[in-house]
Amino acid sequence: MTTTNANQRILITGASRGIGRAAMRYLAHAGYQVVGLARHAPSDAQSGECFVQCDLADLESARRIVESLAREGAFYGLVNNAAIAHTTSIADTRIADMNQAMTLNVNAALVCLQALMPGMQQAGIGRVVNISSRAALGKPNRTAYSATKAALIGMSRTWALELAPHNITVNVIAPGPVATELFKQASPPDAEQTRALLAAVPLQRVSEPEEIAHAIGFLLHPLSGYMTGQTLHIDGGLTISTTRL
C-alpha cells in the first residue's frame, strides 16, 4: 500500500478489538499515523502501535484526553467505532440501558468530533467515519442499541451539512453481522435467532472485521472527498433480502 498518508493522523475509538482493531492495523499499513482509544490496550499490541487508555463512558475525561491528543497535532480522520449492545426485550430494557447506550454510542462520538474539529477546520480537510449497524433498521431485543445506532446516522447527516463548507466529510458504515467479540456475545452461534439471521444473509456468511476496515479506508481516502452524509450498508445483502430479519 501507499505511504503517502504518513503525515495524516487518524483517531479510532474502541480500537482494542473487533472492527476497531482491524481498522487500526489496516490504516497503519496504509501509512496513516493511527491513534487508538480503548479502555485497555489489546494483549497482541505490537511495538509502534499507539493506544491511549480512555473510558469513553466518562465523557468529560474522554474530552480532556482527546483534546490533549489534538494539541499534539491535528487529526485528518476520526473513526467513531466504540459501542455497547444491550440484548434485552422491550419489557426488560431499563432506562439505565438506554442512557448507557446513548452515552457510549452517540455522545462519545460527539465529544470526540468536538475535540478534533478545530484542527480539521484549520487544515481545511477532514474525514469522519461513524460505525452504525444494520440494527438501526430494527432488530428484536435491541431497543437501546438500534435506537442509538439510528441516532448516529441522523446525527452524521447533520454533521455532514454543517462541516461541508470546511471540506470535512462525514459518512456512516452500517455493518451487518461481523465476526467480532461483540457480535459473538450478542448472537451466540447456537441461538435460534442467530441461525435465522445467517440464513437470511444472501452471501450466507458473516463479514470479517478486515472487510469493514477496508471500507473505512475507502471513506478516509482523499479521493472520497465528494461523498458525504451517506450510509454504506455492508451486510452481505441482508438489507435487500426479502427474508430480512
- Which residues carry out catalysis? 145
- Beta strands at 126-131 and 77-80: parallel, antiparallel or unpaired: parallel
Residue 239 phi, psi (nearest 5): -70, -15
Amino acid at 13: T
CB 129 within 8 A of CB 83: no
The DSSP letter of residue 233 is E
**Which residues have CB under 8 Å from 23's CB, separation 6+?**
12, 15, 79, 81, 209, 212, 213, 216, 217
Find the helix or strand (DSSP H, E) in which 143 lies: helix 143-163
Q: How many CB atoms lie within 10 A of CB 10?
A: 25
In 3D space, the residue among 92, 187, 82 whose CA is nearest the CA of residue 144 turns out to be 92
In Å, what is the CA distance from 199 to each residue of 105, 193, 206, 239? 28, 10, 10, 13
